[in-house]
Structure 1
């Protein structure tokens, strides 16, 4: 199961907790006539908040682990996601400090709670929502088969020594395996790379499947893939050497 799918499922739980937090807050502070036991709702709201924080930390761990391991340059969508996430945790700390320390600001807690909920929805929408949408809720999307076409392909040198292939595999596992798989052409976050240099076209850009175009995709990616422009020429050649074995 792809890590992004697991993260997305956790994000759905976070969304449910957010909706419940808003519901309990509105019921406690918004109604003139109470429909439920207020003290019970307050206890549930506090418990809900604790679970929210734990789940937020777990999801943040997955995100930071991905960033650290891939060292990927964030896309605009990922940047917005990060801004939402940082805003949420900042307001959360502010809310807790107003409740437990700076109690003169307690009246602001309700507004902060609403802001946290709205930012959480934005945070989830730019990550889990996007992922579940493009993958049809985690179902692998097979790459459309493209009929073989004739094209002029410039021949480039592909390293085929064992050392380069091994280094390329290690690099692939640390940088690429989060979004791609090597055993098929099915989609996870991105397309599978089985036979990528043996097919006539690259799966997303539809450019000829040449080492040069693969290198360009890594450094100047087409569509939503993050850039790995910091990789050296040697790293790129090693990656291509490994991809050529798939």
Structure 2
């Protein structure tokens, strides 16, 4: 099984790269009643395409990738939502592309990343930020496409829009990295990507009450990468 380690360039504040993510202190916990539908969301810093799924693993056992694969969640809606800012009324529904045939684990439901990356007219990906001639496929909403603010810096972490040129190392110390875009270009792209992609998942009624870890897993299409995030959930 894969270790849940913080090996990416962007780790939680003051957490070393390579730190075992299972040892990170508990965060705020959502309470999910069995048989309910619940909102989940993610955002992107660098758009690598691909698809994603949400999974659970009971914290009473061993937290492994195999455990998450045994508890892949289904969806309570055929739509996803784009939400700018914290206001839940500021959401726009978009059709979700979900597949369960030919997936792993067998029959698990995966959702296509709905935001198209940048592409050249021949369809090849763009490697020269901030150039973005056209979307790789039709965007779900007008203008909702691009490679994300991560394409403008060599190494960065999430933060307020105005802080995208203040780069931090794994210990919270400010460092400088040369940007691939001008500051104005980077801020424009960052503001464009200040949204979350919401989905609504179904909490199976047969799950035992207790403490769980929720895993978001995105398998990238443009690079051989897997990106994951976790959150604490209490099922009642």
Q: Which of 1 and 2 has higher RCO (CA within 8 Å, sep 6+)?
A: 2
TM-score by length of 2: 0.21
Higher-Rg structure is 1
The alignment's TM-score, normalised by the length of structure 1, stands at: 0.20
Task: Select the structure that is richer in strand.
Answer: 2
